[in-house]
Amino acid sequence: MRVDVKYTVPNFVLKYLRVFGQGTVHVRDVALVLEGEYPKFYVPTLLLNFAVYHRLICVTSYRTIPYSRIVRYKPPKIFRKHVILFETPEGVRTWVAFRLQRKERKQKALLISRIQENLVAARALLPQ
């Protein structure tokens, strides 16, 4: 399943995956694949709002998050924001947040159910 999204900054967190602008979330059987604009190096977020800096600093890339690494998934409630807390291979807990594009909002229930199904299946396979 492929869904067009707009990446946002999670509320009240310091460690988050820096993905900017519009992108795509691919829901696969073993992992979530996040496609978007990632900065090549750290810069303050305000500079990336300008298109000139954005094109110089960011590159389109993919990040794969296995379901076994997802610690928490918060489906959207008030602000229509999907929030995922996951653990990197280095052991650092990191957040990522996104909103569905307007044309994709009809698929919200299907997206939530697919992610939750895959999370339950991945946790059932993990050793206790």
Interval 73-124: pLDDT, tens: 999 887 788 999 999 999 999 999 999 988 877 888 899 999 999 999 998 9
Q: What is the pLDDT of residue 12?
A: 67
- How many separate helices (H) and strands (E) can be counted in the chain? 2, 7
Burial zone of 106 (CB within 10 Å; 0-12 exposed, 13-18 middle, 19+ buried): exposed
Query: Domain 2-123, what fold?
Result: PH-domain like (2.30.29)
Specify which residues 76 forms β-bridges with: none
Has residue 70 got a pLDDT over 90? Answer: yes
DSSP H helices in the chain: 51-57, 108-125
Other C-beta atoms closer than 10 Å to the C-beta of 34 total: 22
pTM for the structure as a whole = 0.83
Domain ranges of the chain: 2-123
Q: What percent of the chain is predicted at pLDDT more than 70? A: 86
The residue among 22, 8, 10, 11 whose CA lies nearest residue 104 is 22
